[in-house]
């Protein structure tokens, strides 16, 4: 599933071609969207934003397209009339006079009055977006210590969009590794110093993944490894999908497990349960 950084990157690309532009034509692959498409055609897009893993495309007439990629959805952009060759099912296409924004394979798509978004079942439950401009590490630290979250294992908490929106499976592994905390620990079991480190790394790793288009390695290491011919994961991550490979910090092997039904990776030395 695309995580917050990937959705924000897609939103940036889409915004470049449709913000402040008239949507001249709309194609829909889901019949239930047909009526709404008529209300959007001929209107100007005022803003493209993300909230966690959801994307919102706002129109001047007060309507908003809500979409969530879930596991298989993917956005593409192209010059109008030059559609990509793909076997994916086209769900939504927004066409300006020169370009097209295309959503494939997703099914969680709907059109809302902007005022009604506050009642959306997903949006009303999510926590602060990890990529919002005004979020700071102190906000994350307070949430880690809150009664609502402090007794839950970090491996589960860091997939809960109500805690922080936009963090998913690979970011969970990479954040906990960078902070040096074991996935099975709970916030209440961490020292104040560990809480601060984890909060800061939550921001650092998420913003790094956004700015580098999916890489979580420190800049210098990322530049070094990009010159190699290693696998995608070997030049992208510190721990995720590196089971049995040497830890980049201590050379002990990276371990793998399942938490909340999703694979997770950690170093049993750098992330020992008892710190």
Q: Map residue 265 onto helix, strand or coil.
A: strand
Residue 274 has pLDDT above 80, yes or no: no
**Residue-level pLDDT at 59:** 98
Q: Which residues contact 204 (CB under 8 A, 6 or more apart)?
A: 178
Q: Which amino acids are annotated catalytic?
A: 2-3, 53, 262
Residue 233 has pLDDT above 70, yes or no: no
Average pLDDT, the chain: 93
Burial of 150 (0-12, 13-18, 19+ CB in 10 A): middle
**Residue-level pLDDT at 43:** 97
Residue 25 has pLDDT above 60, yes or no: yes
In whole angstroms, give the CA distance from residue 159 to residue 236: 20
Mean pLDDT of the 203-210 span: 96
Mean pLDDT of the 20-46 span: 95
Domains of the chain: 4-119 (3.20.190.10), 137-267 (1.10.8.50)
User: Would you list the DSSP string of 238-257?
Assistant: SSTT-TTSBPTTT-PBEEEE
Of the candidates 188, 184, 190, 202, the one whose C-alpha atom is nearest the C-alpha of residue 258 is 184
pLDDT tens digits for range 41-92: 999 999 999 999 999 999 999 999 999 998 889 999 999 999 999 999 999 9
């Amino acid at each position: 599933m695309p995580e917050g950084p990937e959705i924000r990157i897609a939103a940036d690309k889409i915004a470049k071609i449709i913000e402040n532009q008239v949507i001249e034509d709309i194609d829909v692959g889901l019949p239930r969207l047909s009526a709404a498409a008529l209300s959007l055609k001929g209107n100007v897009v005022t803003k493209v934003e993300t909230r966690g893993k959801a994307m919102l495309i706002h129109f001047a007439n007060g309507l908003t397209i809500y979409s969530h990629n879930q596991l298989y959805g993917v956005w593409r952009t192209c010059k109008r009339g030059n559609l990509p060759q793909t076997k994916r099912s086209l769900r939504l296409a927004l066409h300006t006079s020169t370009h097209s924004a295309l959503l494939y394979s997703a099914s969680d798509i709907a059109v809302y009055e902007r005022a009604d978004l506050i009642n959306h079942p997903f949006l009303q439950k999510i926590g602060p977006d990890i990529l919002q401009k005004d979020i700071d590490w102190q906000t994350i630290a307070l949430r880690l210590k809150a009664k609502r979250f402090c007794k839950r294992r970090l491996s589960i908490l860091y997939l809960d969009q109500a805690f922080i929106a936009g963090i998913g499976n690979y970011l969970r592994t990479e954040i906990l590794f960078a902070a040096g905390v074991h996935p099975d620990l709970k916030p209440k079991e961490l020292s104040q110093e560990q809480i601060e480190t984890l909060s800061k790394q939550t921001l650092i790793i998420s913003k790094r993944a956004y700015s580098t288009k999916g890489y979580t390695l420190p800049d210098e290491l990322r530049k070094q490894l990009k010159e190699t011919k290693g696998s995608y994961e070997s030049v992208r991550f510190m721990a995720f999908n590196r089971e049995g490979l040497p830890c980049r910090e201590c050379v002990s092997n990276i371990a793998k497990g399942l938490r909340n039904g999703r694979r997770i990776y950690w170093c049993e030395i750098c992330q020992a349960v008892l710190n």
